Amino acid sequence: MDSPPELDLYFEKSKEDIWNCLETNMAASSIEKQGTNRSKKTMHSWAGMSIAALLIVALGTGLFFRLYTKSVFSPTGEHLTAFLPDGSMVKMNADSEISYKLLVAL
């Protein structure tokens, strides 16, 4: 039986150099992936906080306008005319007060 021919191959880098290069590339790749995961987590965190803040502001504004009332007071000795948001007019006698909500319906 014939023995296989021997191959005489020449490599520019040694086995240790190739392994070191491979380990360096793998470490750099994992660092890039970690940075990407962190930025995605940060982006999701900011998005969630933004949505929560927007919801709080919207609910707070709605409650403010729904519950906020305006009062008009006519001091002693004076007669006033108050104009309401619906366009009506109220003539007020001396020492009287009227209160109304700014928005009738939301």
pLDDT score for 10: 67
Q: Is the pLDDT of residue 3 over 50?
A: yes
84 touches 90 (CB < 8 A): yes
Give 24-89 as a DSSP string. HHHHHHHHHHHHHHHHHHHHHHHHHHHHHHHHHHHHHHHHHHHH-EEEEEE-TT--EEEE-TTS-E
The domain segmentation of the chain, as residue ranges, is 13-67, 69-106
* CA-atom Rg of the chain in angstroms: 39
pLDDT score for 91: 94
More confident residue, 40 or 77: 77
For the chain, give the mean pLDDT.
Answer: 81
Q: Is the pLDDT of residue 65 over 80?
A: no
Q: Is the pLDDT of residue 89 over 50?
A: yes
22-48: pLDDT as tens digits: 888 888 776 666 555 566 667 678 888
More confident residue, 4 or 20: 20
